[in-house]
Structure 1
Amino acid sequence: MDSALYTAFLAGLLLGGSLIVAIGAQNAFILRQGLLRQHVFILCLICALSDAVLITAGVAGLGTLVARSPVLITAVTLGGAVFLFAYAFFAFRRAFHPDALKAAGSGQVTLKAAIGACLAFTFLNPHVYLDTVLLVGSLSGAYVGAARASYAAGAVSASFLWFFGLGYGARLLQPIFARPQAWRVLDTLIGLVMAALGSLLVARLV
């Protein structure tokens, strides 16, 4: 790889990493599933591939089209807010309901339900489109030809590294989460994050 392609790849990697490494609904979900060791590979793969598709679309020029469709942005924002509030409710219920808390470390979520939640966290979150399609896509305009492809590859690589690192790295925290109180704290934090993100989405519609 020559210096120009390497520089473009590194730029995409750093931008993608800076955007994705943040407390959010998708990351909180992957962290919890990683702690439970439930469907980790497929969920991490779905998140990373989804980012890859959106980043590729943004670099290809879809970001400009999405920015011109306020109806689409409003629909995604509203749907995302409803989903986040619902997930926050269930997280709080797990944290404060004794039976739900007891099952938190051992309850098995079906693969179908886990995939459904994963897809919802990904595609009902307007920030995903703002980050991957619009921001990453618009900044790709600084590159042409092979350099643009290398930039996109860097951004996609950041997603794969982050999601698989988060999903499989979560098990290192399992000694801490052997205590029920740790699950109570985690689910409370997840509920707060989901509710806060949902509130921010609603605020954007007002």
Structure 2
Amino acid sequence: MREMGRRAVLKFKSSEDAITYVDLLTRRIKVGELIIDVKSNVVELRVRGGREAGDIMMAEALKIYGALKARNGGSLDLSVLITMAQPPHPVPFDVVTTALNLRGFPSELSGMKLRTKAPLDLVISIIKSTSSLYAEMARMNITQNAKKIIATHALLRGLDVPGAIQELMEKGAVRENESSGSALITASSSFEDYVSTIRRGKGIAR
């Protein structure tokens, strides 16, 4: 990458990566104020307009570039990940981080960044899956704690929401209670205790 004031030349591994970058960039930045020139695997950016707005625009462009370059893990901006994944429902990133950790990829949230050893494609996939699971559970009467446990179990086991609930009920991790005439699904323990049980190898997620 060469950055020259309000101009930057960004190099990618392939022309496909360059096109992916431009697609992400144009979703987040007003293209009228950003001149984009693509030549094979090289993207040249030039910003026009006021200095302050131009500096913000260039910083955003470089933030997206950094995320795409971190194909094998790194420090990823959450807003860029959301743009890349386009989740249909808000995502609890503590569930995403937990799922990555339990899959063997050390990960942690640090402010508005996700620091992870996981490949970018896996991170995006888990964000999308988590969002879909939460969208499905939004129509169901489930406590927030139970939702975290169900979503994590579903991600680890490759299950849908009903399948995850059934397995967790059989293992006693969640239960169904009658509340005001309707069934409410609650957890038998905190989310943290559930995660600790998995890490100790007691088999809830197996």
Please give the TM-score of this superposition, normalised by the length of structure 2: 0.22
Structure of higher RCO (CA pairs closer than 8 Å, 6+ residues apart): 1
Please give the TM-score of this superposition, normalised by the length of structure 1: 0.22
Structure with the larger helix share: 1
Structure with the larger strand share: 2
